[in-house]
Structure 1
Amino acid sequence: ERGGEKRNAVLLVDFNFKTIDDLCRRVSLGKKGYVYIIDESAGNIVYHPQQQLIYIGLKYENVEQALKYTYGNYLDSSSGDMRLITIATVNNIGWKIIGVSYMDEIVTAKKEIGGFIAWLLLFVVVFVLLISAFMSAKISQPIRRLERSMSKVEQGVFDIHIQVQGDDEVGRLSRRFNYMVARIRELMGQIIREQEAKRRGELEVLQAQIHPHFLYNTLNSVVRLAGGGKSEEVITMITALSKFFRISLSKGRTVISIQDELEHVRNYLIIQKMRYKNKFEFAIEAEPEVLGCRTLKLILQPIVENAIYHGIEMMADEGFIRITAELVGEKVRLQVIDNGLGIPADKLERLLTGEAASGEGSSVGLRNVHERIRLGYGEAYGLEIESQLEEGTTVTLWIPAVRTEGAEER
């Protein structure tokens, strides 16, 4: 503009075509896609990667359609292949940059991306499942271990202990479970000890009741013998009675030698034979190696007493009682055999079970001895009874063969 007069002018700018080509080729629109540039006024092609083909007519671009858009995209099939045309306008210089993408490549890329995403999702799902299984196992394993331990407790197994790791809820629960089981074991042991002590006390009371009654009957017999002038028999009975109570006392011990136990029952039989005026005979047979073994005291006398009172006393013929002691393996077998009236089968089954009727006094002494042996030595020992009516009864006592002099004295 000069002196208020306007003149039209043309500005020529020389661009390096190779620079434009390099910039446009950097745009990746698939293997066949490309970018070309036109001006926005007449649609002249400023740059095209296949410029020569355009000039000789072997390549056609639908620039008329592109001129209708400033920005956007549309589908074009004028060249025979379905293409996606994307347009952007450079306002400062009036150019339109047109991107050409072939739909078959876009679909193929979409499938590849879809396949990749599918495999990625599958991998993520498998990974999440593995992590979930691992975490679930870490959480549920202590719970299952606690459940198995509880099942054992339900079955009566209390000698268990759970190894506790961590301070989470399951760890605290396991520690409380261990404390509970230990407390149950302690209480059960205490109850067993209390019940055994109570039962021993009851048995000792029952045993103590035998002596006054026997002493009363024996002294009555001594009085009758003395009144009849039978001084030798009085001396024999008083001597036997003295030895009987000496062994009964045993300085407070409840474990004595089998030799003393046999001597004790021998004196008892001497007294009873004199009281019953020789109604029965007796014999005591013992293997020498058994005499030094240890036994609970006063286990034979109640059995012999039962044989006399319920087996021989009511017999018309003379009775016979045989007592044997022998070693059988690691056990000692003591037997009291009589030829008395025998025991009925229905009553025989109840003698040691505690189901005998209250009036059946014969079962009290037998159960007393049976329970004392089981309390002292365990469930593997005790009494066995065999009997036939009118033929007699055999009572077998099993105790362990304890030969040491330092055996426990209760």
Structure 2
Amino acid sequence: MKNKVPIVKTLKFQIAGYYLVTSITLIFIFALVLYYSISNIILADTLETTANSVVQSGRYIEIYIEKLKALTDVLSNAAETKHYLETGDKKARESVVSMIDTILKTDDYFSSVILVSKTGEILSNEKALDMTTSDDMMSESWYVAAINSEGMPVLTSARQQAFSMDQKTWVISVGQEITNDRGDNIGVMLIDVKYDVIGGYLQDLMEGGAFIINTDNKMVYYPDVTVFTDQDKLNAFIELKNMKDGYDSKRNLLTKHYPIKGTNWMLVGTSMLEGLSRVRRQIFETVVLIGLILILIALGSGLLIAVKITRPFKALENAMSDLEKGLLKVPLDENGCYEVENLTRHFNQMADRIEQLLRDIKNNEKYLRTYELNALHSQINPHFLYNTLDSIVWMAEFNDSAKVIAITKALAQFFRLSLSKGEELITLKDEVAHVAQYLFIQKQRYGEQLQYEIVESEALSHVKVPKIIIQPIVENAIYHGIRNLENEGLIQIKTYQEIQNLVILITDNGVGFDAERIQRGDIKLGGIGLQNVNQRLKLYYGENSGLKIESVKGKGTEVKLVIPI
């Protein structure tokens, strides 16, 4: 029964999930950029609009003040005005009064025009004046301030002596010193304008907030008259005056300063940007709505894309499941994207390879069964057993009991190691002991014609190797190399490690042979040929293992068994 896979682990879910997460991330980044971009554009536009409004209002006030100064300059420098102040001539006085009436008619905001002589005489359209005068006007501060202007129009506070909280009574006075031809002071000209004139020019700024304050931190204009008497409120405006132009995010306040030329006034325009907050809220809500719609679209499209991408993989999964159940070839159509085509092609190749491996396994099993029969035949070789028993009988006839006992023990040990309790893999130490018993027995038969040396590495004695891989090679060396020698024969066996391999080296000084006979399989080892041993090693350890044979005819043979460890 197929195990149920959690949906979160399915490829379809993960593709759809990754796609959705990526889409949401991109949508979030896009929405964030869009929101802040639009907000910054609106903020910059608001800042520019506010700044332009403040500058424009300030310039209007500048123009108006210049107009006042120009009028005072004209009236102050008129010949009739100077003649009246110097002589008190009635005709000249009438001319001055006529000029004052003309000036007052040019602007509805003009409140009064006042001419004050050095001796304290006053000529004005206003009957009741609240001004400080004396026989010596040089003792009056406001009068001296006009003189110190050196002929240039100045702002004066001459009308602020009787200050009240009624703005309707407030005026702004612009004064001009009057001098005779010698430059001596003979009087001062003042033009009073209604306080509301400033409010008219600042009307466009009132929604956001605007005020005028002078360099002495005294309020010049603000609609709320309490600021003129409440120091705490005034301090708040002074703080605004000292702020830099721009947007203060902590206060959500936009500020613009404009110094009015020809005065010591500073026009300050502010905006709380409540409209911007409303617009930002609307933008945020719109962006969230659009984002949710895009997320739903991304979710739907992600599922469709995931289904389309995973369909070939699902078919491949089903094919692999069928292959697992029946071990049958299940060909797939190689259609789709490159990766799917490549994966399907590899799957079909794998199925073909599995089928080939199954055939190879059957052949190898057949071969191994043949080998087991041959091995059993080799373990109880009748010729070897007959020759050994014949040697024992011969020794017994000569009453050589010591040799009889030794060779009998060696034969018993040889067959015990050959059987090895049915185990196919034995330690290298037992394999070497097995061939040592074999050589001992053969030594008894061949005598001085056969000599042997065994050099065994103790560090490798525990390594497991297939049994009976050395004895067939030694047997081949005796029967095909040493036995046909006229002189003494020598077989050397050595075990050692070479890189990551166990090496068993068997050399003899026999007659040797043509190495091409090995490749043809002409040479057999007691029923088990060299190729038999070589193939057994490759079955156990792979292609990097096996036999390496070098032989020179008339000089001897060297066989190297290479086993990975």
How does the TM-score come out when normalised to structure 1? Answer: 0.52
Secondary structure, in 3 states, of the residue corresponding to 1:208? helix
Task: Tell me which of 347, 351, 372 is aligned to 1:204.
Answer: 372
Deviations 1:89-122 (A, max 9, x none): xxxxxxxxxxxxxxxxxxxxxxxxxxxxxxxxxx
The residue aligned with 1:361 is 524
**Aligned equivalents of 1:192 and 1:226: distance in 2?**
52
The residue aligned with 1:223 is 393
**Aligned equivalents of 2:407 and 2:359: distance in 1?**
45
The residue aligned with 1:370 is 534
Cα 1:398–1:174 change in 2 (3 A) is: closer
The residue aligned with 1:276 is 446
The residue aligned with 1:233 is 403
**Aligned equivalents of 1:398 and 1:366: distance in 2?**
14
**Aligned equivalents of 1:328 and 1:160: distance in 2?**
46
The alpha-carbon deviation at position 164 of structure 1 amounts to 6.7
Q: How many residues matched?
A: 234
Moved more, 193-202 or 306-315: 193-202
Moved more, 201-210 or 297-306: 201-210
Equivalent residues of 1:339, 1:393 under 8 A apart: yes
1:350 aligns with 2:517: yes
The alpha-carbon deviation at position 398 of structure 1 amounts to 0.4
Cα 1:233–1:350 change in 2 (3 A) is: same
Cα 1:227–1:183 change in 2 (3 A) is: same
The residue aligned with 2:562 is 398
**Aligned equivalents of 2:362 and 2:351: distance in 1?**
16
1:191 aligns with 2:359: yes
Q: Which amino acid aligns with 2:388?
A: T
Cα 1:255–1:364 change in 2 (3 A) is: closer
**Aligned equivalents of 1:257 and 1:160: distance in 2?**
46
Secondary structure, in 3 states, of the residue corresponding to 1:314? coil
**Aligned equivalents of 1:298 and 1:160: distance in 2?**
45
The alpha-carbon deviation at position 271 of structure 1 amounts to 0.3
**Aligned equivalents of 2:388 and 2:473: distance in 1?**
18
Normalized per residue, the structure richer in helix is 2
**Aligned equivalents of 2:332 and 2:546: distance in 1?**
35
**Aligned equivalents of 1:274 and 1:229: distance in 2?**
15
The alpha-carbon deviation at position 331 of structure 1 amounts to 0.2
Equivalent residues of 1:306, 1:365 under 8 A apart: no
Q: Which amino acid aligns with 2:376?
A: A
Q: For residues 155-194 of structure 1, what are the structure 2 equivalents within 5 Å?
A: 184-194=352-362
**Aligned equivalents of 1:333 and 1:304: distance in 2?**
15
**Aligned equivalents of 1:196 and 1:285: distance in 2?**
34
Equivalent residues of 1:284, 1:324 under 8 A apart: yes
The residue aligned with 2:432 is 262
Q: Which amino acid aligns with 1:199?
A: Y
The alpha-carbon deviation at position 178 of structure 1 amounts to 9.1
The residue aligned with 1:290 is 460
Equivalent residues of 1:161, 1:178 under 8 A apart: no
**Aligned equivalents of 2:331 and 2:508: distance in 1?**
51
Deviations 1:288-311 (A, max 9, x none): 211111111100000000011111
Equivalent residues of 2:332, 2:348 under 8 A apart: no
Q: For residues 43-122 of structure 1, what are the structure 2 equivalents within 5 Å?
A: none
Equivalent residues of 1:162, 1:178 under 8 A apart: no
Q: Which amino acid aligns with 2:530?
A: L
Equivalent residues of 1:370, 1:382 under 8 A apart: yes
**Aligned equivalents of 2:513 and 2:483: distance in 1?**
14
Secondary structure, in 3 states, of the residue corresponding to 1:324? strand
Secondary structure, in 3 states, of the residue corresponding to 1:385? strand
Cα 1:186–1:279 change in 2 (3 A) is: same
Deviations 1:113-169 (A, max 9, x none): xxxxxxxxxxxxxxxxxxxxxxxxxxxxx9xxxxxxxxxxxxxxx99976777xxxx
**Aligned equivalents of 2:463 and 2:381: distance in 1?**
29
Q: Which amino acid aligns with 1:317?
A: N
Q: Which amino acid aligns with 1:246?
A: R
Cα 1:396–1:160 change in 2 (3 A) is: farther
The residue aligned with 2:489 is 319
Cα 1:160–1:288 change in 2 (3 A) is: farther
Equivalent residues of 2:334, 2:345 under 8 A apart: no
Q: For residues 29-48 of structure 1, what are the structure 2 equivalents within 5 Å?
A: none
Q: Which amino acid aligns with 2:398?
A: G
Cα 1:241–1:177 change in 2 (3 A) is: same
Secondary structure, in 3 states, of the residue corresponding to 1:281? strand
Q: Which amino acid aligns with 2:440?
A: I
Gaps of 5+ in 1: 1-141, 143-157, 166-170, 402-410
The residue aligned with 1:301 is 471
The residue aligned with 2:547 is 383
**Aligned equivalents of 2:347 and 2:424: distance in 1?**
38
Secondary structure, in 3 states, of the residue corresponding to 2:381? helix
Secondary structure, in 3 states, of the residue corresponding to 1:277? helix
Deviations 1:201-258 (A, max 9, x none): 2222222222232222212221222122211111111111111111111111110110
The alpha-carbon deviation at position 182 of structure 1 amounts to 6.1
**Aligned equivalents of 2:467 and 2:501: distance in 1?**
17
